[in-house]
Structure 1
């Protein structure tokens, strides 16, 4: 059988244990809050990135559809893509549109830009392109 500590000593030990845990919940909450905030900001940043990609892809498609029509030129496609970006492309910063890689039989529109970021100093670039054959009349 174990010898029991005197009542005063037991009270002292119990109070000492309780005092040692004081403030631990605040520290745990602060650490957990930082992790949760980091996850929230990461989710928002991923959403911004994919939205900017989709806008750039839509602008490239609009440009290709305008540039592949019978009698249209590559410049028409670039102008249409630029118009689309001016209207809807606020999420793609510093966007540039080019028709590099186009031939007489196929048009290719490329949209380049960067994504708005929540973290200063981090740059995320977006490059999307679309291509399609140019419409033309042929004799059967």
Structure 2
């Protein structure tokens, strides 16, 4: 009889404890979700920053290459210099002047974005184009 009473008390104690200790489980699950949201927000920020840096490098290259007496090679050099100074977020960047003509210059910057997630590969390609300066006699 004593054993049966002990078992009943033990069962009653176990069944009436409610959700004791469940807060730790909730926190562990919620922490994973919050960390995923934070890392996603950071990755989106890195992507848009890399896009802006690549776009700025392309614009700098176009402005240098469209001046009177300059050429697409000068634009590529200027874009590469810009990326060397400010392009840490654009990894493995390549600059080309493909698509340029005698009256139009086009600079394209292509690279990859620094990522927080191993195995994630994000490319960024930005270009800028403008007409070249031509002086004409009045």
Q: TM-score, normalised by structure 1?
A: 0.88
Q: Say if 2:133 is the partner of 1:128.
A: no
Residues in 2 aligned to 1:32 and 1:74: alpha-carbon distance in whole angstroms: 53
Equivalent residue number for residue 63 of structure 1: 61
Residues in 2 aligned to 1:89 and 1:49: alpha-carbon distance in whole angstroms: 12
Deviations 1:46-96 (A, max 9, x none): 000000000000000000000000000100000000000001001000000
Q: Say if 2:137 is the partner of 1:139.
A: yes
1:38-77 matches, within 5 Å, as 38-77=36-75
Residues in 2 aligned to 1:28 and 1:79: alpha-carbon distance in whole angstroms: 55
RMSD after superposition = 1.8
Equivalent residue number for residue 92 of structure 1: 90
Structure 2: 5+ residue stretches without partners: 1-7
> 1:15 deviation in Å?
6.1
Equivalent residue number for residue 108 of structure 1: 106
Task: Please list every run of at least 4 consecutive aligned residues from structure 1 whose deviation after the TM superposition is greater than 6 angstroms.
Answer: none
Residues in 2 aligned to 1:107 and 1:87: alpha-carbon distance in whole angstroms: 23
> 1:22 deviation in Å?
1.8
Q: TM-score, normalised by structure 2?
A: 0.89
User: SS where residue 118 of structure 1 aligns?
Assistant: coil
Residues in 2 aligned to 1:29 and 1:135: alpha-carbon distance in whole angstroms: 63
User: SS where residue 130 of structure 1 aligns?
Assistant: strand
Residues in 1 aligned to 2:116 and 2:20: alpha-carbon distance in whole angstroms: 36
Residues in 1 aligned to 2:121 and 2:12: alpha-carbon distance in whole angstroms: 56
Equivalent residue number for residue 16 of structure 1: 15
Aligned length: 131
> 1:14 deviation in Å?
7.1
* Correspondence for 2:24 among 17, 22, 26: 26
